[in-house]
C-alpha cells in the first residue's frame, strides 16, 4: 500500500496526490528512461511518437522515429558514442491533460578519447532542452518534440 496516499487520506491537512501530480511523476519517469536509453537505438526511439521532430544540440533536425533511429545508430557507430548527456527537469507545464511542455537542462559529458585534455570540446557543456510530450487516452507519455539550445 502506498503509505503517502494512506497518510494523506487520513490527514485532511495533506491532500491526496492530484491527477496532475501523478502525470508529472510519469513524465519524470519517461525523462529518466530516455536518459538511461541514450545508447540503445531500439529503446530510445520507442519513447518518442512516430512523427517526432528532434533538433539536436548541433542544430540538426530529424523528422520521424525511423530517421531518429537511423541517426542514432550512425552516431553510436562513431566517436559520438562517447558523448553522454544527463537531464534535469526544470519545469513541467500542461497545455492540456494530454500535452505537456517539459523544460530541462541538458549537461554534456564529452568522454571521447581525442578530446580528453586537448582543450575544449566542440560541444557546449550545457543546453536548454524542451520536450513536448503527448499521450493517448490511457496510454503512456511519448516525446513528440525534442529541441536543445546550447547555453553559452
Which domains does the chain show, CATH number per domain?
3-9+16-151 (3.10.450.50)
Continuous H helices in the chain? 3-10, 19-36, 65-76
In whole angstroms, what is the distance from residue 11 CA to residue 57 CA? 47
- Single out the residue of 36, 38, 35, 5 nearest to residue 19, CA to CA: 5
pTM greater than 0.85 = no
- Single out the residue of 46, 54, 125 nearest to residue 83, CA to CA: 125
Q: Is the pLDDT of residue 29 over 50?
A: yes
In whole angstroms, what is the distance from residue 19 CA to residue 36 CA? 26
In whole angstroms, what is the distance from residue 94 CA to residue 121 CA? 36
pLDDT value of residue 61: 96
pLDDT value of residue 7: 44
Which residue do the cell numbers 560541444 mark?
A: 123
pLDDT value of residue 12: 60
> 10 falls in which pLDDT band (50, 70, 90)?
low
Q: Where are the beta strands (DSSP E) in the chain?
A: 48-55, 61-63, 83-96, 99-110, 126-135, 141-151
Amino acid at each position: 500500500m502506498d503509505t503517502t496516499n494512506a497518510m494523506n487520506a487520513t490527514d485532511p491537512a495533506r491532500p491526496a496526490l492530484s491527477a496532475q501530480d501523478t502525470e508529472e511523476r510519469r513524465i519524470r519517469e519517461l525523462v529518466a528512461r530516455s536518459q538511461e536509453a541514450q545508447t540503445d537505438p531500439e529503446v530510445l526511439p520507442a519513447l518518442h511518437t512516430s512523427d517526432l521532430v528532434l533538433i539536436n544540440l548541433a542544430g540538426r533536425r530529424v523528422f520521424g522515429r525511423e530517421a531518429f533511429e537511423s541517426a542514432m545508430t550512425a552516431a553510436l557507430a562513431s566517436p559520438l558514442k562517447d558523448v553522454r548527456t544527463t537531464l534535469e527537469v526544470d519545469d513541467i507545464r500542461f497545455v492540456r491533460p494530454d500535452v505537456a511542455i517539459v523544460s530541462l537542462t541538458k549537461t554534456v559529458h564529452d568522454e571521447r578519447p581525442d578530446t580528453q585534455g586537448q582543450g575544449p570540446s566542440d560541444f557546449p557543456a550545457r543546453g536548454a532542452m524542451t520536450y513536448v510530450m503527448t499521450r493517448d487516452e490511457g496510454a503512456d507519455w511519448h516525446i513528440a518534440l525534442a529541441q536543445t539550445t546550447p547555453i553559452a
